[in-house]
Amino acid sequence: MGASNLEAGPQEDPAPGRRPARRRNAERIWVVATVAWGLLRVLVVWHYLAHYGVNPWVYLFIEVATSAPYGVATARLVTSLIDKQMRSAYRWAMASAALFVAPDLYLVASGRSMPVYVYVTIGMLVVGLGAASVVSVVSKVRDGRRDRAAKATLEAQALRP
């Protein structure tokens, strides 16, 4: 999903409290993708970590409970940053970070006698995927702001005699 999918031009809300349809649709797609990724993670944990004391049902619950809110939080983080609403962006960033690490914290807390390489792998995944998420957010914000500026320029040129 490109960043421009989250950017919907000038942000006059069609109704108070409603986000533009383009943003709502992009958010839904992102939430579905996030949940699908979470379910894939559940299958991996179920297969590889259940015998180390990780309860796959608890992990499934945590993953399902956090995946959709994480998708919403990251989408809203991007749109808040595009709109330069920093207070809102800060709240969405904190929610995104907490929801991102919750399932992995459960793995570390519940696993018994896991080999060191499992802890290292979990840590590398958290750091690597977290960094990729930050890079993705930055890229989407830049693209969204660039799209908005280009649209504003075109609108200004169209108004000239």
Summarize pLDDT for 131-155 with one digit per residue, the tens: 999 998 999 899 888 988 888 888 8
Cβ atoms of 74 and 133 closer than 8 Å: yes
Residue 14's pLDDT band (cuts 50, 70, 90): very low
Separation of alpha carbons 49 and 103, rounded Å: 13
- Percentage of residues in the chain with pLDDT exceeding 90? 58
Q: Which two tokens stand for residue 18?
A: 């409603």
Q: Is the pLDDT of residue 4 over 50?
A: no
Q: In whole angstroms, give the CA distance from residue 150 to residue 10.
A: 11
Helix (H) or strand (E) holding 6, with range, is none
Let me know: does 46 contact 56? Beta carbons within 8 Å.
yes
Question: Tokens 């929610």, residue?
Answer: 95
The arithmetic mean of pLDDT across residues 111-134, rounded, is 92
What is the amino acid identity at position 142? Answer: R
156/25 Cα distance (integer angstroms): 28
Tokens of 126: 């958290």
Is the model's pLDDT at 43 over the cut of 90? yes
pLDDT, average across residues 27-46: 90
List the domain boundaries for the chain.
Answer: 3-11+20-159
- Residue 11 in this model has a pLDDT that exceeds 50: no
pTM of this prediction?
0.74
d(CA 102, CA 32): 19
pLDDT above 60 (res 120): yes
Mean pLDDT along residues 101-108: 94
- At 46-74, the pLDDT tens digits run 999 999 989 999 999 999 999 999 989 99
- Pick the more confident residue, 157 or 136: 136
